[in-house]
Structure 1
């Protein structure tokens, strides 16, 4: 499929911009980002979702979380612990990939969703601190299932991009330690290997035409890893879960963006899970770039992606 026409009509706005961070200091770049992010229609959060903030105790201090509860529900709810992306250095609870995604999944799946504001790899923070935060939030959610009105047998964990990495890393820990496992794992365009596997020639031909700022070139990917883990060799398996033992993982759904340098990591992870007998299902978000959950479901492919995860939350323990 070609690049989504709505995105294709705006991609020129990103030409010549060195990176996402430049939007913080360059007004012209900030304006270009804003225009690029405009979706086809105005969007409003689902009205039948109650949203509240809370704090979870963690080994490095308090961890802010945001809780999304569908209104008018009875009985125990399925639940999801959700982690935004941002290259381990960016993102927060207000970005669409956290706030909109969480509200939509709570609405579509009639599930309790807990979004985690884990510590970012800035100002000296590095691995294992972000994973520690996510693990602490997971243990809190599992321990407080009854009080939250959650079915303890149907608690999932997931995330997008770097957040998907942290979700999978938490599962690596839980498998290794015999901890309480999630009922399923939901991963959106995950970064799970280093180096990333190669793109197909067909996808690479399209990627080569896109602005550098939305690419994950090898050197930039290495810098991201060095910032997060402090090194790129002799890595603990949970830093890049695609290199960890995967037997014992829960049923998993993996969403990949069609035009994304990281796409092969998600696809390879699906093959690795299947090889050790884990039930896994993948979905390709056609015409989408990396991070497409930062847009809204007014784009049909974003809505389809949300339904892919919501369906898993509504189900039992199958993929």
Structure 2
């Protein structure tokens, strides 16, 4: 599929090329994490002012899961309780943390007028699949079980994330439906990784190998998965779950210059065919990762606003 970058996206891509940034696959995971985090101030927009941002420690079988609670100035209260978005950051299950997605979570809390809880799940290769999945499910269940104490309306609990975080959000929604988690009222899937088979056409098109290149996807995969057998596991590839019937409403956001584009499109279609309410938003001139670059890409801010409107429209 031909892809033409928006002028601002093309300018950002050119700037990254001229900066000579090292490809992630040439770095160690720790080096990649530091490099990723160091680049955030250049791309993040100014964060909105919130009522509070507080640390949270979520009990888990292995110890505890760090998290961060974002409360907006005017949350949508019902009976004194606010809706909540449990957010999982992107980064290929290898990089990213609470700080890398701090501004994104602030914007979503502000735009959606709800509490956002960002979950710092364990990363690979130190903690391979399914450690991140286990943390995501455990954190969501604990948040639901302690909703009142957190000021959260358990009946208005959503999950979401970008890229690898979108993968985890989709998995949590499936696990919750199948009885391993709480009731989920919606899922925000921002260019999620859905199928580790990586056989869709967009995985081999040169126009999609922009910042998230085909090579770095394989680098992430090889650090995260234990082997090829994991590809078939729906907890790694949620597209391979038996059926999407009964999943909560979904807001699916995709980008044209993204290796994950076609699998995201296919998943959105499968959800619709299964009777799931889907709000689909495609940004044809943007690349994978644009959502976190609101300082440089206005479409990132448009996307955040639209997600906020979708969250506010949920029951």
Whole-Å separation in 2 of the counterparts to 1:229 and 1:205: 25
Whether contact under 8 Å (2:255, 2:282) holds in the other structure is yes
Partner of 2:225: 229
Pairwise CA RMSD of aligned residues? 2.9
Report which stretch shifted further, 271-280 or 2-11.
2-11
Partner of 1:280: 278
Whole-Å separation in 2 of the counterparts to 1:18 and 1:199: 26
Partner of 1:247: 245
**1:257-296 to 2 correspondences below 5 Å:** 257-296=255-294
Whole-Å separation in 1 of the counterparts to 2:255 and 2:302: 12
Partner of 2:65: 63
Q: CA deviation at 1:48?
A: 3.1
Structure 1, unmatched stretches of 5+, are: none
Q: CA deviation at 1:19?
A: 1.2
**1:1-319 to 2 correspondences below 5 Å:** 2-15=4-17, 17-20=21-24, 34=39, 38-39=42-43, 43-73=45-75, 74=77, 75-95=80-100, 98-123=101-126, 125-177=127-179, 179-199=181-201, 204=205, 206-207=207-208, 210=210, 214-217=212-215, 220-233=216-229, 235-245=232-242, 246-296=244-294, 299-317=297-315
Report which stretch shifted further, 107-116 or 162-171.
162-171
Moved over 4 A (4+): 21-26
1:113 match: secondary structure: strand
Q: Structure 1-normalised TM-score?
A: 0.84
Report which stretch shifted further, 13-22 or 168-177.
13-22
Total equivalences in the alignment:
302
Whole-Å separation in 2 of the counterparts to 1:264 and 1:255: 12
Whole-Å separation in 2 of the counterparts to 1:221 and 1:286: 20
Whether contact under 8 Å (1:59, 1:132) holds in the other structure is no
Q: CA deviation at 1:22?
A: 5.5
Q: CA deviation at 1:130?
A: 0.7
Q: CA deviation at 1:265?
A: 1.4
Measured against aligned partners, the alpha-carbon deviations of 1:232-275 in whole angstroms (never above 9, x if no partner) come to 23632211001112222101111111211111111111011112
2:70 match: secondary structure: strand
Q: 1:132 to 1:205 in 2, by over 3 A?
A: closer
Q: Structure 2-normalised TM-score?
A: 0.85
Q: 1:21 to 1:103 in 2, by over 3 A?
A: farther
Whether contact under 8 Å (1:49, 1:107) holds in the other structure is no
Structure 2, unmatched stretches of 5+, are: none
Report which stretch shifted further, 4-13 or 254-263.
4-13
Q: CA deviation at 1:61?
A: 1.5
